[in-house]
Structure 1
Amino acid sequence: MRSPIPATLISTTLAIILGAAPLAAQNGVTITTRGGQTCISSNGLPDHATGKFPNRGNPHAIRQQNTRVCVPSNPKKGSSPQPVQTPGIATNGVIIRPDTADYYDAASPRRHSRDPASGWLLEAMGARDALGLDNQNAHVDERGLYHYHGMPPALTGVSDTSLIGYAADGFPIHYIGSKARPAWMLKQGSRRTAPGGRHDGTYVEDYEHIRGAGNLDECNGATVNGHYLYFATDGFPFFPRCLYGTQITRIR
């Protein structure tokens, strides 16, 4: 039986959301609520130190961006989740993108490429050295966009709210540490095709959703005090990789 999400940990944030109050801007970020939309405009640069880029696993340099993401201020939950690659944006204006575009590829010198033929998609947090993630669980894409693959430590404990971002469907994303437990688990045994080896979290397909194994649903969400919310977690999937909202903003 699932343990409920502790409502007291997010009551302050719910008051902010329900009051539709603008959030404080930081590091080139503005967050406004108007006309039924919450809009986050940003230069894409984080408000914390990053690792060195380029690095051995990531050949790209961080570049300033012109990012603007608008999501519904009053999101509605549908009945079926939709898979997404870029599920949201953090309150500091950095894009949240847990998935990668690289698959196991025995023919590549790096052992991974954009060729999906193997069916084994690299999990960034399980292959962090190969993809050059820094200590904020982030790296840089070919455009120079710095983005998060896992929960950045710099966003924890910086305020009295658990809100750390907004999903592309408008529902807020919270971080409450180990109190939120995902229902995704490593599969038992070994991979039946190349690259072989045990299911250790290097690839997305190493995991399976087991209903009721945690207190979150398959999209890392839960209903608290009658309001649906997503959670960033310390374990896979780290951020929601599917969304339940009826209106989903495409975030590039």
Structure 2
Amino acid sequence: MKALYATTVLTLLAASAAQAHELNITIQLDQRCIVSNGIPDHEVGTWREGAVVEPQDHLFCVDATPEDTGTITDQGVFISGMTLTGIPLRPGTAEWYNPDADADAERPWTRDRSSGWNVEGVGGLIMDAQNAHVDGDGMYHYHGIPEAVMSNLEGTLFAYAADGFEIRYVGGDVQSSYQLKEGEREGEGAPEGVHDGTYVQDWEYIEGSGTLDECNGTMVDGEYVYYATDTFPFFPRCFRGNVTEAALGGGGGDRPEPPVENDG
């Protein structure tokens, strides 16, 4: 076993309680494993009343030498990737627009998918300054770019994706190929208003409109690499390599169903 990185620091949480940030990254045979307690190494919060970061048992093992399979996995992935600081990337949400909900409700969203309009995390749910929040189990995770992490990167490597490929961050030097659709939302049961990014379906992939492919990746010096971008989709949401059980199951224990977001 080759130890790549280990750290323990104290983090100030929203509840004003200091908890230790614990992290260990190793290479075990053909896998790269990130083990962490899910406590970030920066300040967090605040969100809804009662929402606090709870320690987790993250074990995220992915292929250390990933290869392009020629196919794309875009369903059922619980964790898109894991940062070098041991925090999950989880851009998707479990919240969907519900046209039958109270029209005057601030967030007329449920887990009923029948409308076909999935709430986008950034711009839709409550986030802290790092574009992150906690789910119903207190699991802290990023939906968008965490400036506190990006500003302290040593190089461009930011995280490892669910299939083991690198996720890098270079700011505006690469551009997503997803664009907001024009005009008003249409269709039975669609939310009112223009395509403004509140919902995943407000966006569309337009090949060649940016520098990245539909999975937010590209070839760099003969190797495939994903990128974290300042705009949608922020992190890869589909994968060209073999997605591991750690990503499908949640990176720590068995998670047959994603926990409720609870708006952070």
TM over 0.5: yes
Give the helix-richer structure, 1 or 2.
Answer: 1
* Residues 90 and 96 in structure 1, CA contact (< 8 A), matched pair in contact too: yes
3-state SS of the aligned residue for 2:22?
coil
Residue 60 (structure 1) shift: 3.0
2: CA distance, partners of 1:38 / 1:79: 22
2: CA distance, partners of 1:98 / 1:28: 23
When structure 1 is superposed on structure 2, of 80-89 and 115-124 the one drifting more is 80-89
Residue by residue over 1:133-172, the C-alpha shift from the partner in whole angstroms, topping out at 9 and shown as x without a partner, is 1010001111110000001001113143111110010001
2:150 corresponds, among 148, 153, 156, to: 156
Q: State yes or no: 1:50 paired with 2:44.
A: yes
* Residues 59 and 246 in structure 2, CA contact (< 8 A), matched pair in contact too: no
Give 2:44's aligned amino acid.
Answer: T
2:220 corresponds, among 217, 224, 234, to: 224
TM-score (norm 1): 0.85
* Residues 53 and 62 in structure 1, CA contact (< 8 A), matched pair in contact too: no
* Residues 73 and 243 in structure 2, CA contact (< 8 A), matched pair in contact too: no
3-state SS of the aligned residue for 1:166?
strand
1: CA distance, partners of 2:81 / 2:7: 17
1:86 corresponds, among 69, 79, 91, to: 79
Q: State yes or no: 1:169 paired with 2:169.
A: no
Partner of 2:57: 66
* Residues 169 and 249 in structure 1, CA contact (< 8 A), matched pair in contact too: no
1: CA distance, partners of 2:180 / 2:153: 33
3-state SS of the aligned residue for 1:178?
helix
Q: State yes or no: 1:141 paired with 2:138.
A: no
Residue by residue over 1:208-239, the C-alpha shift from the partner in whole angstroms, topping out at 9 and shown as x without a partner, is 00011111110001110011111000000000
Partner of 1:29: 23
Partner of 1:124: 121
* Residues 54 and 61 in structure 1, CA contact (< 8 A), matched pair in contact too: no
1: CA distance, partners of 2:220 / 2:44: 33
Distance 1:246 1:48, change over 3 A: same
RMSD, aligned CA: 1.6
* Residues 176 and 231 in structure 2, CA contact (< 8 A), matched pair in contact too: yes
Residue 180 (structure 1) shift: 1.4
Identical-pair percentage? 44
Q: How many residues align?
A: 227
Residue 85 (structure 1) shift: 4.1
